[in-house]
Structure 1
Amino acid sequence: MKRTIKSLFLFAAVATTLVSCIKERDMNIDPAKGVANMLGFTYSGDDVAGSSSVYSRFTSDLGSLKANQTVSFPVNVSYMGQNEAPADITLNLAVDTEVLTQFNSENGTNYVVPDASIFKLPATAVIKKGTRTTQVKVEVTNNASFDFNKNYALPLKITSASSGAISSNLGKAVYSFSARNQYDGLYVMEATGPMVDVTSAALTGYYPLNMYLITYSGNSVALFDADGVYSKNYFHPIVSGGTSVSAYGSFSPIFTFDASGKVTSVSNYYGQESGGNKRSGMLDPTGVNKITFNADGSVKQIEVSYIMTQSVASPFAPRTYFKEKFTYKGQR
């Protein structure tokens, strides 16, 4: 019923659609006036919850966040039904963890509520007289508590209102959000030295290519085949026999940085010693491993030297050497 109410509300036939959906609940009906106006969370972006979910989920991509940067996402609340608000209506908002527990169970998700220091939720929202909707902003800060490895969501609830009835299902909603670290983006990957596979001279580098560096943690990114040259996934494309595009199975590098812009380590997205060949990533300290920043602090270029190792024959035996430069093109 949640999806029917929401989708039809977005079209013109407000009164008719709400009659057909809300009339199932006797408590929502005023016998003298027909369908009562209801208060609830509405269309803060697309509702991406599963069809069996009681509560809506709205999601926001906060973009790339620098350390201690604060951004916001919108939360819309509405007076839904035949009429506009007859007077100013003050709604009290709060986080309800039971909503998220139920949502995760119904949708097979693992969202968690962020630490209280990460977000700032307005305690109230006011729908002005003669209107139907108001919007408040939830602020999110990339501080020391922000964990890029967690799936964050705020399960919100209208706890009370100065007037009007709160919808039993639309009066609660889940707002998920994700952020990207400052290194995340679309890059041109080029070689600063030949790719060398010590076991096969037929395997060579494939450059230049558009590649994504995707947030893995607050200070690391994983390599992703942006154009699907081999497969649009976490792979490093190579060339076999001079013409055939290939990739190393169970391997894609994760680059980790420190605050100064130094590349401090390289590991494998699929896990160290992954796959039948037990492949891992390793930094090559003899090469260049640094970030070049623009004047505004944004990433201009990343240079990295690393090794794909294989432990199938001997522990962390070097298999392939890479020397690469990633030049930032824009957001992915």
Structure 2
Amino acid sequence: MTLDPENSVNVIEFKNPSSFVSPSGSKYALYTRAFDLADESEYPITISYSGAQVAPEDITVKLGIDTAALSQYNAEQHKKYDLIDEKLYTLVTSVVIPKGERTAVAKLKFKSSAFDFSKKYVLPIQIQSASAGVVSGNFGTILLNVNAKNKYDGVYTVTGKMSDASNAAFAGLYSVGKKVEYTLETISATECVVTDHINWGGAAYVPIWTGTGVSGYGSFSPVVEFDPATGKIISVKNFYGQPASNTRSAQLNPAGINIYDATAKTIKISYWMLQPSVVTTPPHIRTTWEEEWKFQKPR
């Protein structure tokens, strides 16, 4: 195959607006972005005249909402993303790529403070037409998955201690000098689930050291609930069920230190993993954690 970039046909398309979520098996790409709670959160979307040439004239690009694309993605990926209510966003539906330029930015704003935390919002945006050029078949429509972040959301470095009553070799990664980071992801105004992006690619798992390598407890990750008035941690439950199918559940250690320090942006937490199928004697505590989570950066 011989490529001739200088004579290639330019296409009008969306540039990647945020971190990419693989659309394997889907026609359309899905992008995810989380916003702080605000009356108005900006999300600039760039439309590109992609190829060897710059725009030969002012190109007017019309944008619209493609609900069929979202339905197709849900069917292909077996997902249940929700079409975001039109009251929660504003989108400029016409932009101009100036003559001699390659891009234009569409102003998109979300009312993230009004988001329903139980919803998985997606805004499917389509390039409906362009006054010149060819609209891309691959990136003429994009799906924007947007969600809100509570004040506890973010990336934290973790230190502390861990003990497993059924296997003394199991320990926290920090006990063998390995870096531990938890990402707290918002699931309600007062709750976050612990995810691990270093070892598990963002999945909801707590990394552990088995004595020979990195692992994690299947079907287990804590969901932490805070009292916004006092900063106290009021409950911990298992993201995969309370209990999960393997009998694992989470519980706060009431005798431990369980608090969020808003000034230092530090969390001190003491909790247990209960597993009656392994530890048959009540209260069925298999694993204990006493940790300090220090905020490093936003998610």
Q: Choose from 147, 169, 176 the match for 2:144.
A: 176
* Match of residue 91 from structure 1: 61
Say whether residues 1:74 and 2:53 are aligned partners: no
Structure 1 residue 69: deviation in Å? Answer: 6.1
Structure 1 residue 110: deviation in Å? Answer: 4.3
* Match of residue 220 from structure 2: 251
* Match of residue 135 from structure 1: 105
Structure 1 residue 223: deviation in Å? Answer: 3.0
* Match of residue 36 from structure 2: 65
* Match of residue 135 from structure 2: 167
Question: Bigger radius of gyration, 1 or 2?
Answer: 1
Counterpart contact for 2:56–2:99, Cα < 8 Å? yes
* Match of residue 41 from structure 1: 13
Counterpart contact for 1:234–1:269, Cα < 8 Å? no
Mind listing any 5+ residue stretches in structure 2 that lack a counterpart?
Answer: none
* Match of residue 24 from structure 1: none
1:155-209 Cα distance to aligned partner (Å, 9 max, x none):
2233455x44763836841132445544333323233xx6555x45836753455
Q: Choose from 142, 148, 158 the match for 1:189.
A: 158
Question: For 1:172 and 1:164, how far apart are their aligned partners in 2?
Answer: 14
Residue 117 of structure 1 aligns to a residue whose secondary structure is helix
* Match of residue 113 from structure 1: 83
Say whether residues 1:306 and 2:275 are aligned partners: no
1:237-264 Cα distance to aligned partner (Å, 9 max, x none):
2566xx8876544322221223233212
Identity, in percent, stands at 31
* Match of residue 295 from structure 2: 328
Say whether residues 1:17 and 2:23 are aligned partners: no
* Match of residue 22 from structure 1: none
Letter in 2 for 1:175: L
* Match of residue 251 from structure 2: 282
Question: For 1:132 and 1:247, how far apart are their aligned partners in 2?
Answer: 47
Q: Choose from 126, 134, 141 the match for 2:96.
A: 126
* Match of residue 206 from structure 2: 235
* Match of residue 266 from structure 1: 236
Say whether residues 1:155 and 2:124 are aligned partners: yes
Question: For 1:293 and 1:188, how far apart are their aligned partners in 2?
Answer: 16
Q: Residues 187 and 42 of structure 1: is their aligned pair in 2 closer, same or farther, counting only changes over 3 Å?
A: closer
Say whether residues 1:223 and 2:194 are aligned partners: yes
* Match of residue 30 from structure 1: none
Counterpart contact for 1:99–1:172, Cα < 8 Å? no
Counterpart contact for 2:251–2:274, Cα < 8 Å? yes
Q: Residues 186 and 51 of structure 1: is their aligned pair in 2 closer, same or farther, counting only changes over 3 Å?
A: closer
* Match of residue 261 from structure 2: 292
Q: Residues 107 and 166 of structure 1: is their aligned pair in 2 closer, same or farther, counting only changes over 3 Å?
A: farther
TM-score (norm 1): 0.67
Question: For 2:103 and 2:17, how far apart are their aligned partners in 1?
Answer: 14
Question: For 1:49 and 1:213, how far apart are their aligned partners in 2?
Answer: 20
Residue 269 of structure 2 aligns to a residue whose secondary structure is strand
Residue 143 of structure 1 aligns to a residue whose secondary structure is helix
Structure 1 residue 82: deviation in Å? Answer: 6.7
Q: Residues 107 and 292 of structure 1: is their aligned pair in 2 closer, same or farther, counting only changes over 3 Å?
A: same
Structure 1 residue 120: deviation in Å? Answer: 1.9
Counterpart contact for 2:40–2:109, Cα < 8 Å? no
Counterpart contact for 1:157–1:172, Cα < 8 Å? yes
Say whether residues 1:144 and 2:114 are aligned partners: yes
